[in-house]
Structure 1
Amino acid sequence: MNTEDLNFAYRVRHALNEKLDELPASTTDRLAAARQAAMARKKAHVPVRVTQSELATAGAGGFFSSPFNWLGRMSVAVPLLVLGVGMVGLYQYEEQQRIAELAELDAAVLSDELPLSAYLDNGFNAYLESSEQ
């Protein structure tokens, strides 16, 4: 219920209360009987009155408006946070593996007796491919 609805309800209640003394007795008796019938059909778990704090927070939907509302929100946020951290960790691990492989390749190339120009020669690449078979 938003503020406009509450204001409208208060204005209607005020207008009805102003003319309450002018109502005939038969109308007030019928209204009392209708109220009694409505109260008899009322569910047991529904409160009869609304407290002032409930009116103040109606429609507000604040973070701490209900005791376990924040728990429901955290049950969505925490798995998303864990997923994000896991993906960042996996990326870092893969990057470290790639760096280690490149460092191993560089160390093998630098410790070999062949000159670096031999690795750039197309004929040397053909020789390596034929020697692997």
Structure 2
Amino acid sequence: MKNKEMQFAYKVKLALDANLDNLSDDTLQSLAAARRVALARKKHTPMTVRVEQPLLAGAFGGGMLHQESPSWWNRLGVAAPLLVGIILFAGIYQHENAKRVSYLADIDAAVLSDELPLSAYLDHGFNAFLAEKGQ
């Protein structure tokens, strides 16, 4: 129904624009008065618009909600996975770093508790001796 009203209003506008030069002063004054009345009525009627906004699929059941602005749930639906990914990456990094430090500490403890002097480990001949001894 609204579409037909818009088409009719557009046709009236075109007809008035085409015959604007042929209209009398009385007709122009009555059209101006009708326009003022229409604008006054339009100002008194509040116009509200509802926008359908899709939610992220699977975040809160999917579907459509009628909202006037994006809610903090929508923003959280985007930011939460990013935040979880960053925290997970930092946790994995810390765990691997702790494993590496523990491994190096074990090697240092084994070297320091051994009876050989540290210079023996730096000698290339000693490495060859250990390789032959292991066979």
Question: Aligned residue for 2:72?
Answer: 70
Within-5 A mapping of 1:8-23: 21-23=29-31
Specify the structure having the higher radius of gyration (Cα).
2
RMSD after superposition: 3.0
User: Which amino acid is 1:50 matched to?
Assistant: M
Q: In the aligned structure 2, how far is the partner of 1:103 from the partner of 1:50?
A: 72
Gaps of 5+ in 2: 1-26, 35-44, 50-66
Question: What is the number of equivalent residue pairs in this alignment?
Answer: 81
> Do the aligned partners of residues 125 and 20 (structure 1) sit closer, same or farther apart at CA in structure 2, a change above 3 Å counting?
farther
With structure 2 as the length reference, what TM-score do the two structures score?
0.50
Gaps of 5+ in 1: 1-18, 29-47, 55-63
Question: Aligned residue for 2:120?
Answer: 118
Moved over 3 A (4+): none
> Do the aligned partners of residues 119 and 73 (structure 1) sit closer, same or farther apart at CA in structure 2, a change above 3 Å counting?
same
| Percent identity of equivalent pairs | 51
> Which has the larger strand fraction?
2
How far 1:132 moved relative to its partner? 2.7
